[in-house]
Amino acid sequence: MSNHNGNPMLPESFSVKRIKNETDDTFTVELQPSKKVLDLSFEAGQFNMLYIFGVGEIPISISGDPCSTDSLVHTTRVVGTVTKAMRKLHVGDLIGVRGPFGNPWPVEEAKGKDVVLIAGGIGLAPIRPVINYIISNRNKFENVVVLYGTRTPKDILYAKEIKFWEKKHRIQTFVTVDRAIGEWEGNVGVVTKLVARTPFDPKNAIAMACGPEVMMRFTVRELQKRGIANSSIYVSTERNMKCGIGHCGHCQFGAEFVCKDGPVFRYDKIAHLFDVWEV
Amino acid sequence: MDTLERFLADHKFLEEMKPEFIEQIVGCASNVHFSSGDIICREGRDADKFYFIRDGKVALDIHMPQKGSISIMTLDSDSVLGWSWLFPPYRWQFNARAKTEVSAIAIEGACLRAKCINDHEFGYEILKRFSRILAERLQLTRLQLMDVYSANG
């Protein structure tokens, strides 16, 4: 979607086409434009500013398929006032959308390489467009591996879809949970532990990680131990994005603005900021 | 070089260990096999062995009354299972259950402890390598305890 109205600060009107609970505290909302003709194209990793009228506006990553853009798909967690209000929307309700904003994942650069995608918790949502893109262009990528960590088995996002990534699309997927009670037969432990056993060629691989910052810090260390260069590691950061165009300064991260220069950064460009306590 | 010795010499845990030390470990080793669902060790029982997992998946769990078993970690091929054999009172601190068919090499704890006492250089090598595993597991557990995926994480 381009900022078609010429003003990136002016929201476009969309209506809720579908809304679906993913887990106890996450949901996916699918939006369609109120105007018939609107370019909804985006690049994997970008985000939109979603505005619940009378409540507020928040940044949410696009979690749909960049190769099929007839609607906008966002998955988020019910965590604050705006997402609580968003969860209460019904099909047909209106919502304001600005975007897409931000620097995307390097999917073109990943062609011809092994791809390691590492996600934690709700961090799988911004990674999902990369997976969808790879599925549509599977032969252009070498070995593709998804490592996904979450709290408990009932917190697994896109649980049904994940099963098909491996079965149908040759995307090896390893899921691990922090805690398991009962029938769970999969991995237990943090997602970083999976990196050591992941099949990829560090000399010809690209890694993309999204999740809580502390998880990404440990993930980067594990990737480095495997011999992957910092310039081949990409992370998606999160800050308090407001304007989306690098003007307001709310999301300043060192000398960078997360909304404009990120949210996806090549790790070697921001490595020095990862060790700073409060940026 | 027999199969046990070859496997142990190639194991990450014993990387770059002197061949004569590997031989000492082989003297305490035997091949074992567990079926899916088998209990490999049980909390509070004698910890007379530890295992190099060759193939399969093992769950470490703790039993909580009225809640059942809480799985805290899974171990896969090339992992080392068990350090309770190393410290008095030599009792398992958790349960380990085979989640799949598991083949492993079991090392007799008392046998290896005796060799560590007789040869301090060998003992230091063993302790150093187990300390590394303990440190790695501690780090992983810390990360788990942070509950980073929670809404407030």
Domain with A134 in it: what CATH number?
Answer: 3.40.50.80
Would you tell me how many other CB atoms lie within 10 Å of the CB of residue A48?
28
Residue whose pair of structure tokens reads 């929201």 in the numeric block: A11
Q: Is A37 part of any domain?
A: yes
Which residues constitute the domain of residue A69? 12-101
Distance CA(A45)–CA(A187), nearest Å, equals 27
CATH fold label, B3-136: Jelly Rolls (2.60.120)
Q: Is A34 part of any domain?
A: yes
Choose the final residue of a domain: A37, A67, A101.
A101
SS3 label, residue A252:
strand
What's the pLDDT at A259?
A: 86
Residues A64 and A172 in one domain: no
* Backbone torsions φ then ψ of A255, nearest 5 degrees: -90, 0
Do residues A111 and A141 make contact, with C-beta atoms less than 8 angstroms apart?
yes
What's the pLDDT at A277?
A: 63
Q: Is A156 part of any domain?
A: yes
What's the pLDDT at A38?
A: 78
Distance CA(A46)–CA(A76), nearest Å, equals 14
Q: How far is CA B18 from CA B7, B13, B22, B113, in A?
A: 14, 13, 7, 18
Which residues, numbered 52 to 81 in chain B, qualify as contacts with chain A under a Cβ-Cβ cut-off of 8 Å?
57, 59-60, 67-74, 76, 78
What's the pLDDT at A1?
A: 57
| Confidence tier at B6 by pLDDT (50, 70, 90) | confident
Answer whether the bond into residue A263 is a cis peptide, omega within 30°: yes
Residues A77 and A165 in one domain: no
Among the partner residues B67, B69, B148, nearest to A215 by beta-carbon distance: B148
What's the pLDDT at A145?
A: 97
Whether A189 sits inside 8 A of B149 (CB atoms) is no
Q: Is A245 part of any domain?
A: no
Would you tell me how many other CB atoms lie within 10 Å of the CB of residue B67?
10
Q: How far is CA B40 from CA A257, A259, B34, in A?
A: 53, 51, 8
Do residues A168 and A101 make contact, with C-beta atoms less than 8 angstroms apart?
no
Residues A144 and A220 in one domain: yes
Q: Is A261 part of any domain?
A: no
Q: In the structure encoding, which two tokens stand for residue A140, read together?
A: 């252009």
Give 10-residue mean pLDDT values along chain A (279 residues).
70 94 95 84 94 94 91 94 95 94 96 97 96 96 96 94 92 93 86 92 96 92 95 90 85 86 92 71
Q: Is A254 part of any domain?
A: no
Among the partner residues A185, A187, A192, nearest to B143 by beta-carbon distance: A192
Q: Is A109 part of any domain?
A: no
Among the partner residues B70, B73, B151, nearest to A189 by beta-carbon distance: B73
pLDDT in tens, B20-49: 999 999 999 999 999 999 999 999 999 999
pLDDT in tens, B81-132: 999 999 999 999 999 999 999 999 999 999 999 999 999 999 999 999 999 9
Residues A221 and A118 in one domain: yes
Residues A34 and A84 in one domain: yes
Chain A positions touching B146 (Cβ under 8 A) are 214
Measuring CA to CA, which residue among B48, B123, B149, B3 is closest to residue A125?
Answer: B149
* R_g (Cα) of chain B, nearest Å: 16
Among the partner residues A121, A179, A197, nearest to B76 by beta-carbon distance: A197
Q: Is A93 part of any domain?
A: yes
Mutate to test the interface with A, among B143, B145, B150 (most CBs of A within 10 A): B143
Whether A77 sits inside 8 A of B69 (CB atoms) is no
Residues A85 and A144 in one domain: no
Instruction: Please tell me the total count of domains within chain A.
Output: 2
Mutate to test the interface with A, among B13, B70, B101, B148 (most CBs of A within 10 A): B148
